[in-house]
Structure 1
Amino acid sequence: MIQSLFLQILFTTLALGAPLSGGEFHAESNAIGYGTGGGIVGLIVLVLDVLVFIEVLKSNRPPLHKLLWCLVVFLFPIVGMLIYFLFSNREAHKSGGAYEPLP
């Protein structure tokens, strides 16, 4: 059940990532505007979001706060990342470096 739902979501995502124009895609036309949010800008946002996830999971925050920050960044990648960098009090929550296991 879960696997079929995952496959449906995956194929839908791939279909939505196709070129929006009716014609054939040419690599020299506009690589940044290909599909819905891909390209170089999407790669940069993905890398920055992964860095936020790693920093949140390595922090000494309570597990619920870690989960909430990860959900905010996952659901709103650009806005969530900006909110995290601006308002999360990162210096107060730095830890020694190990992951804290969830209960």
Structure 2
Amino acid sequence: MGIEVGGLLGLIWLVIVIWAIVKTAKSSAGPIAKLLWILILLFFPLVGLIIWLLLGPKG
């Protein structure tokens, strides 16, 4: 059994992940770093978002 998120909580989670992807795409990081962060956020949404918040591109 996996973690299932639905309804309003799922929508909020989706908005947060999309926000992180857009913020990463607009950052001053290099193209390879941007691509890696976006792939991490897409394939590992929970862990990827936590890691991105701690170590992701700033500014």
Taking structure 1 as the reference length, what is the TM-score of the superposition?
A: 0.50
The amino acid across from 1:43 in the alignment is: L
Q: Conserved in 2, the CA contact under 8 Å of 1:45 and 1:78?
A: no
Distance, in Å, in 2 between the alignment partners of 1:76 and 1:44 is 17
Query: Equivalents in 1 of 2:48, 2:22: separation in Å?
Result: 15
Runs of 5+ in structure 2 lacking a partner? none
Question: Alpha-carbon deviation of 1:74?
Answer: 0.3
- Report the alpha carbon displacement of residue 89 of structure 1 after superposing the two structures with TM: 4.7
Q: How many residues align?
A: 56
Structure with the higher fraction of residues in helix conformation: 2
Q: Which runs of 4+ in 1 moved over 4 A?
A: none
Structure 1 residue ranges without an equivalent (≥5):
1-35, 95-103
The root-mean-square deviation of aligned C-alpha atoms, in Å, is 1.2
Identify the structure with bigger relative contact order (alpha carbons < 8 Å, sequence gap 6+).
Answer: 2
* Distance apart, 1:37 and its partner CA: 2.3
2:9 maps to what in 1? 41
Tell me how far apart the structure 2 counterparts of residues 51 and 68 of structure 1 sit (CA, whole Å).
16
Contact 2:29 2:57 in 1 (8 A): no
TM-score normalised to structure 2 length: 0.83
The match for 2:54 is: 86
